[in-house]
Amino acid sequence: MHKQIEGIIENIEKVMIGKREVAELSVVALLSGGHVLLEDVPGVGKTMMVRALAKSVSAEFKRIQFTPDLLPSDVLGVSIYNPKTLQFEFRPGPIVGNIILADEINRTSPKTQSALLESMEESSVTVDGETLQIPKPFFVMATQNPIEYEGTYPLPEAQLDRFLLKIKMGYPTAQEEIEVLRRAEKTEPITQLSPVISIEELIELQEEVLNVYVDDSIKSYIVQLARATRKVSEIYLGVSPRASIALMKACQAYAKMKDRDFVKPDDVQYLAPYVFGHRIILKPEARYEGVTVEGIVDRILSNAVIPIKRYAEK
Amino acid sequence: MKKNNFKRLELALYYVVVFFILREWLVPIMELTGTGYTSLILLFIAINLVLNLFKVHYSISWVIKLVYMSWFIVFVYSGQSILSVDGFLFLLDIFKTNSAIIIQSDWVHVTDPFRTLLFFILIWMLIYLIHHWITVRMTIFYFIVLTVFFIATLDTFTEYDGSNAIIKIVLLGLMMTSILFIKRLLSQSNVHIAWFKYIKLVMPIVFLIGLSGIVAILLPKSPPQWPDPVPFIKSAAGQGEEIDNRDGVSKVGYGENDSRLGGSFIADDTVVFLAQAETKQYWRVETKDIYTSKGWEKSDYFVGTASVYLPNEPIYHSLPVGPEEETQSASIQVLYPFEFIIQPYGLKSIEVDGTADGSIELHMDDNSEKLIPKVNNSTITLDNYLVQYSKPVYLYSELKNPTEEMNPFIQERYLQLPETLPSRVRDLAEEIVAGEETPYDKARAIEMYFRQNGFRYSTDNVAVPAEDQDYVDQFLFETKIGYCDNFSTSMVVLLRSIGIPARWVKGFAGGDVINTDGAVKEFQVTNNDAHSWVEAYIPNVGWINFEPTIGFNNTRTINYDVQTNAYQQEELTVDEETEPDETVEEEEEEQQKTTEKNNILSTFVDFIKEHKVVLIFVFIVLVLFAFSLYKLRRKWLPKVYVRMNKQKQFSEASFEAMYLQLLKILELKGFKRLEGQTLQSFAAEVDAYYSTKHMSNITKAYEQFIYAKDLREVDFDEMKESWEYLINQTTS
């Protein structure tokens, strides 16, 4: 485990009990410059997770609560006429920050959703022909309620593709929940958190992640997995090459977190469900039959041939 | 404490079973070798088992066993007490003499007491092995299989009757195997259960095996479903028995019983004797004179008489002998337990190798002219002897002009024919010889008859005459397919039916030349060369041999004194294409050579046909061998790999190969890595099983090697150590 990264995760764990895996995955996304979609029912700690992460890295934390009547300008910012200077002045919206919590993203209209997602992809905001670069690190954690709930606008496929990982929180165990209560009894734990890493250090880490070595054999393994998703009969739409890139980047970050300077098939296997899960769209009939994306990814993983020899060009 | 007692009780139970199984081993050995004191040897087994049971320290148990062995030997072989001075000296003496014998590797002369000692040690070792099987390997299966095989073999090939033993062994063995299987399961999964639960587990098995055993014993059993393979195996192993099975297919060879001829033959290449002689010739064994319409019997014309000759003494027989100056000798080396002498034509005397055998007598049966070597009136087999002979030379003038009156005794004896002989046989004989004047010409005509009238030589699909059918009649008029017995018998019958005395001769054809040393050739005669032919009596001349069988040549020397008037000697073969004044033997060889060249393919096909059974057997054995090698690959393949790689150094170049090999060996051991399983998780599984860290260590380095292409920090010595550790774990 990389010491600095271990520090971040431990810090988060002070607040989030029994959610180490979610913390790790969030940090993986943060390190590889991707964004995370947290999906679960309300109240399991999605927001707390993001806040804890933001506090740990001493980054600027902003929160956008998505509602059905939210407009794109409420997210991106708006140009206001300044009578003093006789000019339009751009007032950046909440999207311009380091760590953004986009809460309940599927409650807003697709118009606003896409405004957010465009800026996530480009790391910039464009209003009235003016483009404003969003400073690094830029990390969006969106939360969404499961699609089956009332009053939600499901995210379009193309938008989903922009999230590096989709993570499910899940309920704590009884033991963990007791511990949650115990900690919340007297104080609000989140207020106790102090940053463990500076923005500069974080950016440095992000750059180091890019130097993690990915062997061609691993690349071919990733491609093998991606291609497999496009051939499964129950899948309506397989994953895109962007997903392959995302998987590789996530693996690099994960390897860095494990303090390793190369990627192993184990990393790929571990991350593939989180990277591919939200990018695969099942055929309706398969869904009715009870087929799940997780099941299919599992199957693909167990059928794919892991490279155990030195890679040789074919 | 209680648990220990239970374990001991359990082991005691196994030992009781083992004792009974060992008893089944011992009893037939004792019975067949005529060894006594079975109970004392059983006692030794029991002592061994008890000592093992109570885990007596080996210093004590060795002393007990050695003392028992010494006591047994002294008691059995000298009748004295081991404590007496004489008994002790006796024991000492045994060791002294036998150690000298063993140092000289003179195994034959090792004395019985010492053999007994070795036998005891063998039992000792066997019991130790069984102890190991039961307590460590927890499997007794191989021992049971071996026991069954042993008893089955004894039952099949000896007079020992194992039908009761086999039941006991199978029942006891199955119980033992299944109880040990439970034990093995329990110990493998580290489960300990209370003794009453154990009994509960075992009882149904014991009950089931007992029940199925009883049912199996009581059920009616069908007779054997395939012909008894034992005679074939025995003859293949060189213990051939006489051929008297005429119903089905027999095996070719020299047999004594010719009373029922007919039926097919399988070829047999067993070499029966080697002869060193100058010329190829027929080897005569005996003649038969009574034709029964089914086969041949020997008459009792001379009641109970035999002429006895000593070696080197001139031997008298009914055949003519050639001139003195033409005497040759042939040395015969017999490789088969024949109780007769193989005689060339023109036999003069027999010389037996080795002067020490002065007491050998040669008894000639006057009825069949079979020559039997005897010592003190009991028949022996002679392995090596020298026959002196001079080939008879027949004067053409005498053959053509029989002046002598026919000997009435010969007529009486050699014109016998069964009354049931169909008249068409006689008619045919008359027809064949029509126009021929002299007996010799008539005989020649009959001899040649078979070569022209649609007869075929074959050992396959040869008919056996029905109850009311005549063997000769069937061959001459119905089947026309047969081998030497058909041709020769038919010719004898045809000759007799026109008044020419004839007899049936058995022996061997010339064989194949396998060596040439100057003028002397070495002939190899096999069972395939067993043959029968004809001798006819021509007045003036005496007995002369004929060869009616298609494809066989027998030479008889005829001096054509009429045509050339000079003392010119030529050989005539019965082969009709052969001109009488050519040197037949050379041509014969030449012919053989050309046919050989032309027929390499057909010889190959023949070879395959002839040895079909053997080839199939060999093929099955090979397939079984290959299959078992494959099945047992996890036992030997790792060892091969280790041997291959023991010398190899771990390096960047060999790392991949070594690691992949390790995976393969682990797979053989049962650790199958699925294609989608990462090396790391696989290594964790292996390490969990062997409770080590070696596999993870080596895997970590290997992952670095293939996924990072970086080996800078890898310690190859450590890798090799881990590798060897894992290999040893898998092969142990």
Q: pLDDT at position B251, please?
A: 62
Of A78-92, A123-137, B320-334, B525-539, the least confident: A123-137
Q: What is the pLDDT of residues A223-248, one digit of tens each?
A: 999 999 888 888 888 888 889 999 99
Is A164 in the same domain as A227? no
Chain B residues 677-706 with a CB less than 8 Å from chain A: 677-681, 703-706
Judged by CB atoms closer than 8 Å, whether chains meet at B676 and A301 is answered as yes
**In Å, how far is A215's CA from the nearest CA of chain B?**
5
Q: pLDDT at position B249, please?
A: 58
Q: pLDDT at position A221, please?
A: 92
Chain B residues 552-581 with a CB less than 8 Å from chain A: none
- Please report whether residue A33 resides in a domain: yes
| A264: chain B residues, CB-CB within 8 Å | 678, 680, 703, 707
At B356, the pLDDT band (50, 70, 90 cuts) reads low
Q: Is the pLDDT of residue B579 over 70?
A: no
Of B140-154, B294-308, B429-443, B469-483, the least confident: B294-308
Is A228 in the same domain as A195? no
Q: Is the pLDDT of residue B243 over 50?
A: no
Q: Is the pLDDT of residue B114 over 70?
A: yes
- When comparing pLDDT for B153 and B84, which is higher? B153
| Residues B394-512+530-581, CATH architecture | Roll (3.10)
Q: Which of A204, A226, A246 is the last residue of a domain?
A: A204
Q: Give residue A280's domain range.
A: 211-303
- Please report whether residue A312 resides in a domain: no
Is A53 in the same domain as A181? yes
Q: At B685, list the tokens.
A: 């599984």
Q: Please tell me whether residue B549 adopts helix, strand or coil conformation.
A: coil
- Please report whether residue A310 resides in a domain: no
Q: What is the pLDDT of residues B675-731, one digit of tens each?
A: 888 888 899 888 888 888 888 888 888 888 888 877 777 777 788 888 888 877 776
Of B304-318, B391-405, B584-598, the least confident: B584-598
CATH code of the domain containing A268: 1.10.8.80
Q: Is the pLDDT of residue A17 over 60?
A: yes
Q: Please tell me whether residue A213 adopts helix, strand or coil conformation.
A: strand
Q: Is the pLDDT of residue A162 over 50?
A: yes
Is A118 in the same domain as A265? no
Mutate which of B666, B707, B711, B714 to test chain A, going by most A C-beta atoms within 10 A? B707
Of A258-262, B84-88, B187-191, B402-406, the least confident: B402-406
**In Å, how far is A312's CA from the nearest CA of chain B?**
11
The DSSP symbol for B724 reads: H
Q: Is the pLDDT of residue B362 over 70?
A: yes
What rounded mean pLDDT belongs to chain B? 80
> Measured between alpha carbons, how far is B313 from B328 in angstroms, rounded to an integer?
16
- When comparing pLDDT for A276 and B376, which is higher? A276
Residue A305 at interface with chain B, using a CB cutoff of 8 Å: yes
- When comparing pLDDT for B632 and A265, which is higher? A265
Q: pLDDT at position B582, please?
A: 41
Is A189 in the same domain as A225? no
- The structural domain count of chain A equals 2
> Measured between alpha carbons, how far is B286 from B684 in angstroms, rounded to an integer?
82
Q: E strands within B248-401? A: 250-251, 265-266, 271-277, 283-288, 290-291, 296-297, 306-309, 328-334, 343-344, 347-352, 360-365, 371-375, 378-379, 384-389, 393-395
At A43, the pLDDT band (50, 70, 90 cuts) reads confident
Q: pLDDT at position B435, please?
A: 83
Q: Which of A175, A204, A233 is the last residue of a domain?
A: A204
Q: Is the pLDDT of residue B645 over 50?
A: yes
Q: Which of A204, A227, A253 is the last residue of a domain?
A: A204
Q: Give the mean model confidence (pLDDT) for residues B555-566.
A: 63
Q: Which residues face A166 on adjacent strands? A: A37
Q: At B285, list the tokens.
A: 């064994």
Tell me the domain boundaries of chain B: 2-218, 394-512+530-581, 582-609, 631-731
- Please report whether residue A58 resides in a domain: yes
Judged by CB atoms closer than 8 Å, whether chains meet at B706 and A261 is answered as no
Q: What is the pLDDT of residues B223-238, one digit of tens each?
A: 767 666 666 666 666 5
Q: pLDDT at position B594, please?
A: 56
Chain A residues 196-225 with a CB less than 8 Å from chain B: 213, 215, 217-218
| pTM of the entire predicted model | 0.47
- On the CB side of B630, CA atoms within 13 Å amount to 6
Q: pLDDT at position B570, please?
A: 44
Q: Which residue shows structure tokens 């005689």?
A: B343
Residue B466 at interface with chain A, using a CB cutoff of 8 Å: no
Q: Give the mean model confidence (pLDDT) for residues B109-118.
A: 82
For A218, the closest chain B residue by CA position comes to B707
DSSP B299-344: --SSTT-EEEE-TTS----SS----GGG-EEEEEEE-S--SS--EE
Q: pLDDT at position B241, please?
A: 43
Is A86 in the same domain as A192? yes
Q: pLDDT at position B304, please?
A: 66
Q: Is the pLDDT of residue B484 over 50?
A: yes
Is A118 in the same domain as A264? no
Is A16 in the same domain as A138? yes
Q: pLDDT at position B573, please?
A: 43
Q: pLDDT at position B128, please?
A: 87
Q: Is the pLDDT of residue B673 over 80?
A: yes
Sign of CA dihedral A267, A268, A269, A273: positive
Q: At B690, list the tokens.
A: 């062997």
- Please report whether residue A309 resides in a domain: no
CATH code of the domain containing A151: 3.40.50.300
Q: pLDDT at position B3, please?
A: 62
Judged by CB atoms closer than 8 Å, whether chains meet at B675 and A269 is answered as no
Is A181 in the same domain as A230? no
